[in-house]
Amino acid sequence: MKKVALITGSTSGIGKSIAIAFAESGYDIMFHGLEKNGPEIAAKIGEEYSVKTYFSNANLKDQEAINILIAETIKEFGKIDILINNAGIQYVSKVEEFPLDKWNDIIAVNLTSAFVASRAVWPSMKKNGFGRIINISSVHGIRASEYKSAYVSAKHGVIGLTKVLGLEGAADNITCNSICPGYVKTPLVEGQIRDQAKAHGLSEEEVIKQVMLKKQAVKEFIPEKKIAELALFLAKEDSSAITGSAYVLDGGWSAQ
The residues binding ligand NAD (CB under 6 A) are 9, 11-15, 33-35, 59-61, 86-89, 109-110, 136, 138, 181, 183-184, 186-189
**Strand (E) or helix (H) holding 135:** strand 131-136
Q: In this structure, are residues 221 and 185 in contact, taking their beta carbons and an 8 Å threshold?
A: yes
Please say if 183 is a catalytic residue.
Answer: no
The one-letter amino acid code at 68 reads I
Query: Cβ of residue 1: shortest distance to ligand NAD, in angstroms?
Result: 27
- In angstroms, what CA-CA distances link 133 with 14, 29, 169, 180? 16, 15, 10, 14
Query: Looking at beta carbons only, is 1 or 100 nearer to ligand NAD?
Result: 100
Closest to 181 in 3D by CA, of 254, 256, 107, 96? 254
Query: Looking at beta carbons only, is 10 or 175 nearer to ligand NAD?
Result: 10
Closest to 110 in 3D by CA, of 137, 130, 134, 92? 137
Q: What residues contact residue 60 under an 8 Å CB cut-off, 6+ apart?
A: 8, 66, 87, 108, 109, 113
**What does the CA dihedral 28, 34, 37, 38 come to, rounded to 10 degrees?**
10
What is the rounded CA–CA span in Å between residue 71 and residue 104?
25
C-alpha of 230 from chain center:
12
The catalytic position among 49, 151, 183, 247 is: 151
Query: Looking at beta carbons only, is 4 or 231 nearer to ligand NAD?
Result: 231
Query: Cβ of residue 188: shortest distance to ligand NAD, in angstroms?
Result: 4
Closest to 138 in 3D by CA, of 103, 170, 106? 106
Query: Cβ of residue 142: shortest distance to ligand NAD, in angstroms?
Result: 11
Closest to 249 in 3D by CA, of 17, 41, 45? 17
Query: Looking at beta carbons only, is 152 or 240 nearer to ligand NAD?
Result: 152
Query: Looking at beta carbons only, is 12 or 175 nearer to ligand NAD?
Result: 12
Query: Looking at beta carbons only, is 80 or 136 nearer to ligand NAD?
Result: 136
The residues annotated with a catalytic role in the active site are 151
